[in-house]
Chains A and B, each alone.
Chain A
Amino acid sequence: MGHPEKWPTPLAIVSEGARNRQASLITCLNPAARRAGLHPGLSTARAMARCPHLHLLPPNPEGEQLITAKLIELAQTLSPDLELTAPDTIILARRGTRISALPAEHLHLAPAHPVPLPLVFASAKTPDLAHLLACTSRQFPHAREVATPSSSCSSLPLHDLLHTFSHHFDPPSLLRDLHHTLALWGLETIGEFISLPRADLLERLSPPAALLHDIATGTRHRLLTLYRPPKKYRQHLDLDFAIETLDQLLLLLRNFLHTLCSRLRAYQRVPASLGVTLYFDNSTTHQSDLRIPEPTTDVEPLLRIIHTHLEALTAPAPVIALTLEATPTRPLRAQTDLFQKHLRDPNQFAHTLNQLTALLGADNLGTPQPHNTHRPDQFTLLPPESLFGLQRQSQDPRQPDSKLRRKAPPQPAPAIPCSIPLRRLRPPVEVAVLSSPFHEPEALRDGPYPGPLEAISGPFRLNGHWWQHDTRWQIEEWDVLLHSGPLARLSRTPPHQWHLQGYY
């Protein structure tokens, strides 16, 4: 985008594989590169071999989104009805006029339009023809090029038609086969292609070939998928006076929720999560994203969730501004089994979990996930919200909104077979053990049950990471029957460190 002098030269965007030393492929080409015989999917090595002057560019998703947004902004000044056919292509619907008869000066473009790239305009009687003419226009790099009559597409190369509408071919090998067949027949232009009878094309080639025939002859009229900008559900307020109490803050948030929920209801949406941002007087901010277990537009449960969260928050300074943003989603459409029990009130349970988190601390509650290792007592405590992720997946696996479809937790390690689960002592109690020369425990000298061991079983040796000096570990476990006590597990870390790990 920053080097317009390169635009007439062959340019190509490569995939990310180039950075990882993997095979990089061409993902996008400009017309000059296409004329050199290149096509998307080609490896960069082959592309460079066919076109030594080819310039390879890395992908720039942020830049592409910016350009698309500016293009939409420009298109909206010309017509309210538009279709975002591709990130770089917009089809406008001009009502009441024949597009093919619209001269260029009626486009009313501002001299300095916001899109920093050359634009190509084309008009035709059908959207697909206009798309074809725009993609194959040779008026480059100058902007504001003229509208092209539909009849001129007959002289265009046939491969332009095939590549412009390649998305109709699934799998992509169909496109290559069709291209090869038409080349064998000696067809080079669109005019030669459309001179063939449509019925014969359908019979001898694939249905997409007949579709391309309809597109090229202008007999296929399709409706535009109108672009509607994504709705933002956000409320922001800069306060004239700083807020120091929670009640005042909740009053404002309640008003925000009323407004947002009514807007969501108007579009048949519910909030999947609420983003609360507080701006403090000392230039700091607090931002939190609160997930709604059972999305609803009912204000009271949502306010309760925010209230529970803010109660546990200590503000460093008075609040001078606040923002509330709702992430919309479709309401849950799964019809739960009448005879299957689920949480009666998920929002209430989420509220209870928040209260438990505030009471016990986030580190002291959750769902344990054992690690895939032989080392004893290795696990991670997943946050309580993971319960809802699993429940929601089981209730509605076809949830259309991908934001709510939480990633399933990784498969846990298979449990070490143990008939009676251990009740662990954390931390393990260090004990003095009288042992034989072969390190067999015979008696405990101290600890909760001192005395001779009534029975022992073992040793069960475990070790790991032997290949790394700083992380290698080794442990020897014994199952014992304590003196006047229960079954227990003793462990020895060589050479002489004994611990009571727990009771069975």
Chain B
Amino acid sequence: MSAVSLSELRRTLREQFPDAHQERSYADTYHLPGLPPLPKGSITELVTPPATSGATLLISHLLESPPPTANSSSSNSSGNNFSGNSSPTHPHQTSAPPPSQLPLVLIDPSNAFDPCAYSPTRPFLWLKPRDPDNSLKAADLLLRDGNLPLLLLDLALIPPTRLRRIPSSSWYRLRTLAETSGTSLLALTPAPLIAAAPARHHLQSSFTLAHLSEIRRDLTLHLQTQPLHHLSNNQNKILNLKS
């Protein structure tokens, strides 16, 4: 094919499918409301202390995001087109979760997921391992599979003393698998436990009983995160003592 016709073909495709040719950042990060961008192919730890409410709003957003429309622009859609390097905690940032046609997998060793509280708009697989060791084995299998963009590992209700028995080499192995397969692993922990995670954040929220009568979509704006290394030493000590 000549160079002239090839460039014409590219121009025609760009004109006919403008959405597909917009800049995508999902190759690098996933965006969730209330969270900074999640790096793809990596482990992200989100510390959700037991006294903090609202971590399930993240699961809700992943499960209940509307599927992308054909003509949705990147600034107003949640779907395949992801926003670029916009401010992660901007209150009006549009959420752009991983592609909604692919199943979302939740590894839930504490069997705490409540199906009746969600209306999923995407395929969903719920795993209930009996203990954290089997949770890591399940995560290992899914990371090796490489078909899924994001895994959720909910360890928030597991006692930190139990989680500290997991050797750090296991987490480093999972990190290597994630980097190889390109699957992101978001781990919810009750305390800072995963040193191997390149991205570590602490969830802060201040929900009251009055918030329970508000619309769920509006509550995600109340979620705040702070990188763990930004916490003061005292705050870190408090987190560790509480665990």
Q: Identify the A interface with B (CB < 8 A).
A: 338-346, 348-349, 352, 355-356, 359-360, 364-370, 376-379, 381, 384, 387, 390-391, 394, 412-416, 418-426, 455-457, 479-481, 484-487, 502-504
Nearest chain B CB to A69's CB is how many angstroms away?
42
Contact of B125 (CB < 8 Å), options: A366, A376, A379, A503: A366
Which residues from B are CB-within-8-Å of A379?
115-116
When the two chains form the complex, which single residue of A352, A419, A426, A502 contacts B212, counting CB atoms closer than 8 Å? A419
Residues of B within 8 A of A413 (CB): 116
Q: B102's contact among A341, A421, A480, by CB below 8 Å, is which?
A: A341
Residues of chain B within 8 A (CB-CB) of A344 are 146-147
Contacting residue for B211 out of A342, A419, A480, CB 8 A:
A419
- Kindly count the residue-residue contacts between A and B in the assembled complex, taking CB atoms under 8 Å apart: 167
B134 within 8 A of A: yes
B103 at interface, CB cutoff 8 A = yes
**Nearest B-chain residue to A371, judged by Cβ:** B116
Q: Given contacts A367-B126, A387-B125, A484-B51, are A420 and B212 in contact (CB under 8 A)?
A: yes
B239 within 8 A of A: no
Choice from A356, A426, A455 contacting B209 with Cβ under 8 Å: A455
Alpha-carbon gap, A457 to B219, bound state (A): 19
**In the bound complex, CA of A452 to CA of B89 (Å):** 35
Taking a contact as CB atoms under 8 Å apart, the answer to whether A340 and B101 are in contact is yes
Chain B residues whose CB sits within 8 angstroms of the CB of A338 once the complex forms: 20
Chain A residues lying within 8 Å of B124, measured Cβ to Cβ, are 367-368
Cβ distance B117 to chain A, nearest Cβ, rounded Å:
4
Interchain Cβ contacts under 8 Å between A and B, 19 examples: A340-B80, A341-B102, A343-B102, A348-B147, A360-B130, A367-B125, A370-B115, A414-B119, A415-B117, A416-B116, A424-B111, A425-B112, A457-B209, A479-B212, A486-B52, A503-B157, A504-B54, A504-B56, A504-B212
Shortest distance between the CB of A79 and any CB in chain B (Å)? 52
Give how many B residues have a beta carbon under 8 Å from the other chain's beta carbons: 56
Interface residues of B in 188-236 (CB under 8 A from A): 207-209, 211-216, 219
User: Per a CB cutoff under 8 Å, which of A352, A415, A424 touches B112?
Assistant: A424
Max chain B Cβ within 10 angstroms of own Cβ: one of A368, A384, A422, A479: A368
CB distance from B157 to the nearest CB of A (A): 7
Q: Choose from A381, A421, A456, A479 the contact partner of B60 (Cβ within 8 Å).
A: A421
Q: Are A381 and B114 in contact (CB under 8 A)?
A: no
Structural contact, A356 and B118, CB atoms closer than 8 A: no
Q: Could you say which residues of chain A place their CB within 8 Å of the CB of B80?
A: 339-341
Chain B's nearest CB lies how many Å from the CB of A77? 53
Given contacts A343-B102, A456-B209, 20 further A-B contacts (CB under 8 A): A341-B101, A352-B144, A359-B141, A360-B138, A364-B129, A364-B130, A381-B126, A387-B123, A391-B101, A418-B212, A419-B214, A420-B53, A420-B207, A421-B57, A421-B114, A422-B117, A455-B209, A486-B51, A487-B208, A504-B53
